[in-house]
Structure 1
């Protein structure tokens, strides 16, 4: 089962079939959420260098997308297959998707126990001073594409930066963050546009107490917000869920649906 606390009504359960083409020539518009999320397969986007930053770009199969999505990864970066597949899934929802390489080709290894790797040192090396300029390059690329609105979606490490992009003057119209880590109170209270959060039941970076604090801080902003809690999930489920587990699969797919619906409502999305 799934437990949700939200400022919006609960999302409808929807079936998901990977890699079904749904876009056609014309405007990026759909009546219902398409069956588009891919858990396996080959990425369909491309990598491109822009202002010194490598970007993974995935385009919708329709003309003139109105909304761009800045995809901010977890510590495993755009090199992780699941990140590319999820970016492609947002593109199949009708969004132009840009994912900057937040770690300049050197993301965290899949195994944190890899000899020579220290997660604390890694996080210190990639703090806001190093990461914000990279995020801004991705934002600048989207700004030159002609999209009308920009949304941000962030996962774990990237979730913090999705929040940061909602500060005044950043130019992002709405954001979604799945199990954000390292999030500071001042980054929450600074949001000036709608934010949606997908939280894991088991997450050392967001305990139940911290989740309640985040909800209270969001309420104080007086901006639209949503916090959904998914049972049977742990930190990272929004990208790296074990899809052989029904609860984790449902959580990942529903978090994706949550983001698409949020962008539809608050960024004038494709649907």
Structure 2
């Protein structure tokens, strides 16, 4: 009976394991601290921030849900995230497909133009952008941020999709074209279903960025009007006092959709990132 050979325990393996544990603790501790503090009252947090809660304090959650606009702010964040992601999934894969399958000078120039957009920080063009939104009548509503998120994700999205498309055989498309399928039909019926892993990567990476974004919604959505989740929590931080119980409770509530989405797409996310890295 054959037995699997055991991996020898070496100093290098032990060091790698220890480093992995340390990195995991560094990443997990802020989440653990946040959830633990969410079930403490504000005086209890101020007295000893790192102590375990003495009881199961849930008044902060009740107050946020029933007495504040936080549920509406979470809904606004969900609309921004889902609306932006839906538009990205429709627009960006088609752009990447056109660039990858039409290897011409002008498509390569468009690809370089998209990549150049990744190199320009948002802070450089945000003031002219806000003026443009004001002229177009999109300043102060959710349509403006959605358009900005879509435009800002084109460079990274096209790079991700074109890298993955290099591994999709053209013979499948040629067979469908012989059967009389149109170019649009070939993409949506044959090619796009094969892009599931990279689409999951796109959803997770861009969705997390939009869901947790603070700067752009803070500037584009004026005070007193439509606010997102992170902007709503920001107003609990004062110059002389802060409601840390509300902040920790709100951020804990915001973690739930993120964890559900990531755990649901984790397998496809890892596959998409690794495939894109190898094929690119």
**Greater strand proportion:** 1
Is the pair's TM-score, using the shorter chain for normalization, greater than 0.5?
A: no
So what's the TM-score if we normalise by structure 1?
0.25
Select the structure of larger CA radius of gyration.
Answer: 2
More relative contact order, 1 or 2 (CA 8 Å, 6+ apart): 2
**Greater helix proportion:** 2
